[in-house]
A and B are shown apart, each in its own frame.
Chain A
Amino acid sequence: SQTIHQWPATLVQPVGSPLSLECTVEGTSNPNLYWYRQAAGRGLQLLFYSVGIGQISSEVPQNLSASRPQDRQFILSSKKLLLSDSGFYLCAWGVGGGEQYFGPGTRLTVT
């Protein structure tokens, strides 16, 4: 069966510090991968998606970036965090049937 992992689960970082969140998927090949952000009490906003290694599409201009160095690994990064980057970050994977399956998420607080 397929599983998706995210780490860390919780992160507190000062403004201006770098960020690296990692997502890995097991049990499937060549999945579409997605990064979403959820502000408190709100819906999810798509940040990045990838349909293959090295292929990244950005949905929202911001100081975040994403990379996919391996088929089942998706990384969300920032060189300098802003207060507005605080939120709950969710990684998801999907294949052709339409469904997306989500990881447990990372709660990021920028202080």
Chain B
Amino acid sequence: AQTVTQSQPEMSVQEAETVTLSCTYDTSENNYYLFWYKQPPSRQMILVIRQEAYKQQNATENRFSVNFQKAAKSFSLKISDSQLGDTAMYFCAFMKRGGAQKLVFGQGTRLTINP
């Protein structure tokens, strides 16, 4: 079974700073996806970024980028020029490719952006 671990329960940075959220996972699979989801106070889960395991290039979406280290089973999220609206819970998630495509979530990191 796959597991996802987020070792930082809470983080806090000043607006405009860069912050990196950590995630490690454990799997014996070779074909999979990794995701970061954001859950603001409204509790709506919002997809931030997706990485396909067979792609060596790190995914980027505007101010959000990942550092995917497949051998180390590490998948960190970097938020550049952080904004107050980035305040949220962030969840790392794993999905085995194919089949029912079930998500396995980490426990989350609560990120606060201070003005």
Contacts and interface: CB of A to CB of B under 8 A. Distances in A.
A31 to B, nearest CB: 11
Given A98-B52, A105-B44, A44 B91 contact: yes
B97 interface: yes
A34 interface: yes
Chain B interface residue number, banded: 20 to 34
Interface stretch (B11-19, B67-75, B79-87, B99-107): B99-107
Contacts of B107: 42-43
Say what secondary structure dominates the interface of chain A.
Answer: strand
Interface of A: 32, 34, 36, 38, 41-46, 49, 51, 57, 59, 88, 90, 92, 94, 96, 98-102, 104-105, 107
Given A32-B101, A46-B102, A107-B43, 6 more contacts: A34-B103, A42-B108, A45-B105, A57-B100, A98-B35, A102-B37
Interface of B: 33, 35, 37, 42-47, 50, 52, 91, 95, 97, 100-108
